[in-house]
Structure 1
Amino acid sequence: MSDWVKWLLLGLLSIAFGIFVLGAPVVASVAVTVVTGVLLLISGALQVVGGFTVEGAGNKILSLIMGAVMLFLGWSFLDHPLQGTLTLATVVLILFMAGGIARIILSFQMKGTQFFWPTLISGVLSILLAGYIWSYANAEPAVLLKLLGILLGVEMLFNGIGLVFMAFFVKSAPKETKEA
């Protein structure tokens, strides 16, 4: 099977899963939370084990505390996945807002360049998106349960479309000649 066909199949698979995820965003959101919980448990356990091998009392204490926090969060996400989903969705909203503010501040450092307006608009749009989702979530709290799934589904669709275009690019690209 040629490379471009593999990329095409991967892209189509990503699009199919994206559509599936968008059809059941709450289930996908909870799945993201469960996977996050498992990864936090693994990371926390490794951090605690690593904490015993770190030099210096301050580093050891910090490493053990961070490991314990990750273990607690992982266990909490697995024990209460719906509450964990709400927590993760709130963190995503905060990151949208913080990223928007950071890009607005950065844009003023780019004043007078070609990058000012795109960076400023990007920051403003992130803040508006976070505000829109937050106001909608206040009216209907269940929207936060769907947020992670919707974002995952949209990302999978965009990823799939990008892979399909890449497959056709690879197909049409000239073949490299091998020199011995």
Structure 2
Amino acid sequence: MLSWKRWLFAGILSSAFGIIALANVVAAAIAAVTLTGILLMLAGAAQIYAALAGRDDNRVVSLVLGSLTFCLGALLIADPFAGTFTLALLLTAILAVAGGVRLVLAWSMRRTRIFWIFLLTGAASVLIAGVILANFAEVSPILIGILFGVELLGNGIALIALALFLRLGGSR
């Protein structure tokens, strides 16, 4: 199978999964939270192992952080629906902080051509974070699923575009 066909297949598969996730965003959110929990447990277990196997000065810190990471993963797996609220709150905070940083940067670049880009994207991020917080109880169970589905769909579209680019001969 040619390289471009593999990318096309991966793009179609990712797009299909994105559409499926967007069709049932709550189930997609629970799946994403469960997967996050599993990965956190694996990372925590690896850090605990490294702390117990090592002999450096950071053993205690590594053991505590590994244990916390493992426990966080276990909590997400134990109640993934509640985990959607936690991750939604974290994402909302990141969105608000990133928007605020862009607004501060916009102010410092007010005499440049990119002032408006930073101002508009920063304001949009802060506004979206505010809308999410204002409707947090209703929005948070679906927010993770929507973001997961949109990411899969966007990834699929990008992979399909890459496949078509490769099929047509690359950089002409």
Pairwise same-fold verdict (TM > 0.5):
yes
Establish whether residue 123 from structure 1 lines up as the match of residue 122 from structure 2.
yes
**CA shift at 1:107, angstroms?**
2.6
- Residue identity over aligned pairs, in percent, reads 37
> Hey, what does 1:35 align to over in structure 2?
35
Establish whether residue 144 from structure 1 lines up as the match of residue 140 from structure 2.
yes
SS in 2 for 1:113: coil
> Hey, what does 1:100 align to over in structure 2?
99
C-alpha separation in 1, matches of 2:170 and 2:34: 44
Deviates further, 28-37 or 6-15: 6-15
Segments of structure 1 that go 5 or more residues without pairing to the other structure are none
**CA shift at 1:120, angstroms?**
2.1
> Hey, what does 1:25 align to over in structure 2?
25
**CA shift at 1:111, angstroms?**
3.4
C-alpha separation in 1, matches of 2:148 and 2:55: 37
C-alpha separation in 2, matches of 1:8 and 1:109: 43
**CA shift at 1:174, angstroms?**
5.2
Which deviations, in whole Å up to 9, do the C-alpha atoms of 1:103-149 show, x marking residues without a partner? 22223333333332212221111111111122222xxx242111101
C-alpha separation in 2, matches of 1:175 and 1:159: 21
Segments of structure 2 that go 5 or more residues without pairing to the other structure are none
C-alpha separation in 1, matches of 2:148 and 2:14: 11
**CA shift at 1:175, angstroms?**
8.6
SS in 2 for 1:122: helix
CA RMSD of aligned residues (A): 1.9
> Hey, what does 2:56 align to over in structure 1?
55
Deviates further, 89-98 or 107-116: 107-116
In 2 relative to 1, CA 70–128 (structure 1 residues): closer, same or farther, beyond 3 Å?
same
C-alpha separation in 1, matches of 2:60 and 2:118: 40
Which deviations, in whole Å up to 9, do the C-alpha atoms of 1:38-64 show, x marking residues without a partner? 1111111111222231522xx222212
C-alpha separation in 2, matches of 1:125 and 1:175: 35
In 2 relative to 1, CA 5–68 (structure 1 residues): closer, same or farther, beyond 3 Å?
same
In the TM superposition, 1:80-91 aligns within 5 A as: 80-91=79-90
Q: Which amino acid aligns with 1:126?
A: S
How many residues were matched structurally? 171
> Hey, what does 1:168 align to over in structure 2?
164
Tell me the TM-score normalized by structure 1: 0.86
Structure 1 residue ranges, 4+ long, deviating more than 6 angstroms after superposition: none
C-alpha separation in 1, matches of 2:26 and 2:93: 20
Tell me the TM-score normalized by structure 2: 0.90
C-alpha separation in 1, matches of 2:119 and 2:19: 32
